Structure 1
Amino acid sequence: MAQQQQQPPDGAVSAEPATEHSPLLNHVHVHARANGSPRSPSADAGPPANGHGAAVKHAAPADEEQARAHGDRGFSRAQVARIISVLLIGVFVANADGSLLMATHPIIASDFNELSASSWLITSFSLAAAATQTLYGKLSDIYGRKWLVIVAYSVFALGCAIISVGQTMWQVVLGRVISGAGASGMTTLVSVLITDMLPIREVAQWRSFVNIIATTGRSVGGPLGGWLADVIGWRWSFSGQVPVIGVAIVLCAIYLPGPNSAPAASTGTAAATPTSGDNSSTPLVSRKSKFSRIDFKGSFVFALMILALLFPMELGGVTVPWSHPLIAGLFVLSAALLAVFIAVERRAPEPILPLDIFNRDASFSFLIMGLQSAAQIGLMFTVPIYFKVTASVSNTSAGAHLVPAVVANAVGGVLSGLIINRSGKYKFLVIFAVACSSCGYLLLMLTWHGHTNWFESLYIMPGGFGTGIAQSAVFISLQAVVDPAHMAPAVAFMYLSSTVWFMVGLAATNAVLQTTLRRSLLRRLLAIGLDHAAIQKIIASAISDVDFVDRMRGAARTAVISAYVDALWWSHGVPFICSVTALGIAIFLKQRRIDR
């Protein structure tokens, strides 16, 4: 028979035993975070339960201030800062790796005489990250956040090592697949850990610092990768990441607390005693094999569904035309696999992605975040092309025009965190964020017509600023309505939805650009009297090489530039439509009260 726990005296905090269900540490105390949400136990329901059914008492009112000083899970601010600082190493490297690859993938592929396959260096990473994103959330619930972080770092380092020694193009692609599988955990688990450690009001503020480091990594990675490729070779871009990740693994092993190492609460209650493997006091569910609790069937079907959804977005318009039967077939297969996945998850005792997380406001949060991600990548894709064509600037200068949006993104994230921490309000921030972004994209459509001065070039700032605010505020809106027991898979799915919509936005923007550019070029070149053969040659060169316009002269050059401006106007409409749609959804979000 299970051993009875001794009840603590009034004013103390109950210390439940830590198990694999308590991923970071035991729940020292729980605040009522959101009236009417899963985080607000009703007053007449007896002692509130934690995310896994164990009773937990609130800290007594006299201890509230002291409890707040130690975070929502008994951590001091110094401990939180130290833990997050360690995790930021992985955030920086994972984001720097992505932009580093963008700068070096033509060089890498050319080394193997496979330039036509260079896109697979990017695609393979994205597909692997998307397929494994939600798996980390559930596995960290079973095995603990600390060990899954270490596993993610180790997998990423292994991928980098394989890339640095690869002797064929497809060995390097294999390394990218492995790196992508690790990087998805490196980014996802940071946000999950922050929600474990902090009160809901402070989560946005700390996540804004993560956003700054991620933005810095993306900014530094490209120039650094190009410099390394020029000076000592592209392989050093990846082998140099391995020792950095090695240091991060050691620091994680030292500073990240395991599930049985909860700090004592500030109220003086002793920390919970660790559970042993199979003693009689352990609940039956805790004695089950951890390995057997993994939802392998759901994981496999979900990964296939994501791959079937994303493959046509990568292949369409590049490898095969969008009208090819393969594209429609893959989309149909993805829909069928979604139905299979839902059926599997409904029967799974511990689903990899609990269907309970898809309540009304959580689904709205996923959609808003995804649409903002699609809008942002549409902006980032088109801006360098616009200035490259219309102003004949260098690649470096064209890329530098993105800096205002990147800086505004970081500023928006920080301000959003501060406002939520002070006010506890997030709905008005979400609405303001997507409205601000929509105005920015509209400004581009109204003013970027080929002669853009330095002040008008700053019109990309509202888009970046709004996205930065949305990333923090939407995360809080999700946390306010999802059962804490399901927070890890919910956060993982939010990252996944951003990844999926990121690829949707990129594919849609590129498709609109290519289609409208061809039509506008044909119309304008016919108007200046060129023959069919010359027109087809110019169109083929203009759509495949953005530098082609610099080698042109006369009326043909004017026609190509005008066609690009027209096509980019239509492509700016993709982020505008995405952001306006997000605005319409944001209006229907419910504001939940979030207490300190």
Structure 2
Amino acid sequence: MIQRHGDEQSQVAEREPLLSETAQPSSDYHACRSIPEEATGDGVLRPVPEVDEERSLGREETESLKEGAHMNVVKIISVMLLGIFVAQTDGSILMATHAIIASEFNALKNSSWLIISFSLAGAATQTLYGKLSDIYGRKRMVIIAYTMFMVGCAIVGVGQTMSQVVLGRIVSGAGASGMSALVSVLITDLLPLREVAQWRAYVNLVATLGRSLGGPLGGCLADIIGWRWSFLGQVPPITLAIILCSAYLPNHTSTLDETDVANQLKKSKFSRIDFKGAFIFAALVLALLLPLELGGVNVPWSHPLIFVLLGASAILLVLFIAAEPILPLEIFHSKDAILSFLILGFQTAAQLGLMFGVPLYFQVTSTPRPSATVAGAHLMPAVMGNAVGGIISGSVIKRSGRYKSLVIWAMTCSSIGYLLLMLRWHGNTNFLESLYIFPGGFGMGVASSALFISLQVVIDLVHMAPAVSFMYLMQTVWGMIGLPAANAIMQTVLRRNLGIRLLKLGYDSAEVAEIISDAVSDVDFIDGTIEKVRNAVVQSYIDGLWWSHGFSFACSVTALVLAVFLKQRRLDGHKSKP
């Protein structure tokens, strides 16, 4: 997974230009790879500036070139926004409808796999997109990612079993990981560092709009014509996005591509891509996740299978480290880079753990029970907070160049939000108190933009694409950890407390086991049972969700402590290793 120092020069050779020389966004930012390079003392090739064009061109010509370059950047990024919008809508739709989908197959206790399978596929392919886009071009990999996402949505829409639906989520996840990472790589290719956060805020705004609409839209479609159309309906806009990307994204250009030598180099590069490592990594994550999903639910925590899976994960970790490298080792030389990965990871685990439980909380506790549309709409404060946080973060960073204080502020807000949920969400939650998820979303929006910049400050340009892919990978992995961990905590407490309550109501062990099985398999079970059992089930769900909010709070506080150790650095000048 990591790349040794000896591969650095070959790594540099793989950075081929995205845009032609006429599309360079600014004269002082050498994102385009067609500029000259020189060797530095540490053996790494670095870009060097060409002759100052403003001295050889008139002021009007220079301004005209800059304006044209800016419009070119706007056009390139804009055509990808449709794909970002649909991908984020998909995630919110799934968060709002996972209980409905799983209940149709009598598998509510396994509903988290609809999300985990998506994330697992993304984790297995995340780092590959950065490497492959360096070799074969951003445009080609963007189109491949969109196509896989579209095919996955179609499979989910027509799936007739839980296994088929999960398969569709796997295919979609393998495409969505590229859709998310490559747009950020494109932004770093095209823009000066101070402008990156603001443009990412614009992309985040579109993503947030998708997440905001996805919950109520998915719930509405589920109520009216069925949840399947929530996924089949994504196929036409993604098809349009593929057409737009084919027409407007720049082709991968290089004069070397015209030679036989370049073709041999391309084959050599392809042979070094860590496909084996990607599959080992997926197996590693699966071995870590299965104990969280099975323990306390399908098998006791003391069952030998739990220890076998944990042992297998340790072996797979060793094999993964020994596999053919894909990430440069230099990425991990900086303490700030490691801290950025960890802070974003803990915050992602906290936020996804929360988002998974919010629709379920309102479906269980509200009287009368809300429709899927209303339950999904309760996610909107969090996603709106994410949008507001991203815009504020981008604006502040562009104006002041400061990001550390933003990260600390974001983690503090999130921690307060999760604490309020623990203190106040005990059923019959009114409108104002339903807004307590806003601080968590706000903190996530601020942190994602600020931490992206903190990573870029300390990473060399030649390693930027794999570093960005790895940051998205960390979000995916920590999301996969956070979601099943929160679900496992909730399920364990739910089963234990419901069993205690039912025994106190006079039910025998067989009846208790049957009621628990029905309660965790279908959310509609609450409507068809007698009042005393319904009250026991509802209160047990509340207990379980309280502990899952506690998990989110612990993750957010950990991220806050780590944020204190980040170092504030200057954003001006060329990005290189500290």
Distance 1:191 1:285, change over 3 A: same
Looking at structure 2, the residues matched to 566 and 326 of structure 1 have their Cα atoms a distance apart, in angstroms, of 28
TM-score w.r.t. length of structure 2 = 0.82
Residue pair 1:215, 1:406 contacting (<8 A) in 2 also:
yes
1:57 match? 49
Matched, 1:594 2:575: no
Q: Pick from 306, 313, 316 the counterpart of residue 327 of structure 1.
A: 306
Looking at structure 2, the residues matched to 51 and 244 of structure 1 have their Cα atoms a distance apart, in angstroms, of 46
| More divergent stretch after superposition (172-181 vs 526-535) | 526-535
Looking at structure 1, the residues matched to 100 and 432 of structure 2 have their Cα atoms a distance apart, in angstroms, of 35
Looking at structure 2, the residues matched to 303 and 380 of structure 1 have their Cα atoms a distance apart, in angstroms, of 24
Matched, 1:469 2:469: no
Looking at structure 2, the residues matched to 100 and 53 of structure 1 have their Cα atoms a distance apart, in angstroms, of 45
Alignment of 1:530-569 (within 5 A): 532=509, 535-549=512-526, 558-569=535-546
Deviation at 1:365, TM superposition (A): 0.8
Looking at structure 1, the residues matched to 217 and 206 of structure 2 have their Cα atoms a distance apart, in angstroms, of 16
Deviation at 1:328, TM superposition (A): 2.9
Aligned-residue Cα RMSD (Å) equals 3.9
Rg bigger for which structure?
Answer: 1
1:488 match? 465
Deviation at 1:127, TM superposition (A): 2.2
Matched, 1:374 2:368: no
Distance 1:249 1:551, change over 3 A: closer
| More divergent stretch after superposition (104-113 vs 370-379) | 104-113
2:370 match? 394
Q: Alignment partner of 2:327: what SS?
A: coil
Looking at structure 1, the residues matched to 29 and 517 of structure 2 have their Cα atoms a distance apart, in angstroms, of 62
Alignment of 1:178-197 (within 5 A): 178-197=171-190
Residue pair 2:362, 2:370 contacting (<8 A) in 1 also:
no
The letter for the 1-side match of 2:418 is: Y
Residue pair 2:293, 2:488 contacting (<8 A) in 1 also:
no
Q: Alignment partner of 2:16: what SS?
A: coil
Looking at structure 1, the residues matched to 64 and 554 of structure 2 have their Cα atoms a distance apart, in angstroms, of 44
Distance 1:570 1:367, change over 3 A: same
Residue pair 1:482, 1:490 contacting (<8 A) in 2 also:
yes
1:201 match? 194
Looking at structure 2, the residues matched to 559 and 170 of structure 1 have their Cα atoms a distance apart, in angstroms, of 32
Looking at structure 2, the residues matched to 165 and 448 of structure 1 have their Cα atoms a distance apart, in angstroms, of 37
The letter for the 1-side match of 2:140 is: W
1:214 match? 207
Q: Alignment partner of 1:76: what SS?
A: helix
1:137 match? 130
- Runs of 5+ in structure 1 lacking a partner? 1-17, 34-44, 261-272, 346-350
Report sequence identity in percent.
Answer: 61
1:442 match? 419
| More divergent stretch after superposition (495-504 vs 586-595) | 495-504
Distance 1:143 1:383, change over 3 A: same
1:309 match? 288
Deviation at 1:584, TM superposition (A): 0.7
Deviation at 1:509, TM superposition (A): 1.4
Deviation at 1:182, TM superposition (A): 1.5
2:141 match? 148
Q: Pick from 228, 237, 245 the counterpart of residue 252 of structure 1.
A: 245
1:274 match? 255
Looking at structure 2, the residues matched to 566 and 229 of structure 1 have their Cα atoms a distance apart, in angstroms, of 28
Matched, 1:362 2:362: no
Count of paired positions: 548
Distance 1:461 1:113, change over 3 A: closer
Looking at structure 2, the residues matched to 297 and 253 of structure 1 have their Cα atoms a distance apart, in angstroms, of 30
Residue pair 2:38, 2:48 contacting (<8 A) in 1 also:
no
Distance 1:529 1:471, change over 3 A: same
Looking at structure 1, the residues matched to 182 and 414 of structure 2 have their Cα atoms a distance apart, in angstroms, of 28
Residue pair 1:50, 1:56 contacting (<8 A) in 2 also:
no
- Runs of 5+ in structure 2 lacking a partner? 1-11, 31-36, 574-578
The letter for the 1-side match of 2:485 is: A
The letter for the 1-side match of 2:241 is: A
Residue pair 1:133, 1:492 contacting (<8 A) in 2 also:
yes
Residue pair 1:69, 1:77 contacting (<8 A) in 2 also:
no
Distance 1:240 1:125, change over 3 A: same
Greater helix content: 2
Looking at structure 1, the residues matched to 236 and 349 of structure 2 have their Cα atoms a distance apart, in angstroms, of 34
2:18 match? 24
Residue pair 2:364, 2:523 contacting (<8 A) in 1 also:
yes
Deviation at 1:213, TM superposition (A): 2.1
Deviation at 1:303, TM superposition (A): 3.6
Looking at structure 2, the residues matched to 521 and 109 of structure 1 have their Cα atoms a distance apart, in angstroms, of 21
Residue pair 1:123, 1:314 contacting (<8 A) in 2 also:
no
Residue pair 1:75, 1:197 contacting (<8 A) in 2 also:
no
Please give the per-residue CA displacement for 1:251-274, whole angstroms capped at 9, x wherever unaligned: 2122212332xxxxxxxxxxxx73
Please give the per-residue CA displacement for 1:448-498, whole angstroms capped at 9, x wherever unaligned: 334533322222211111111111111111111112211111111111211
Residue pair 1:48, 1:57 contacting (<8 A) in 2 also:
no
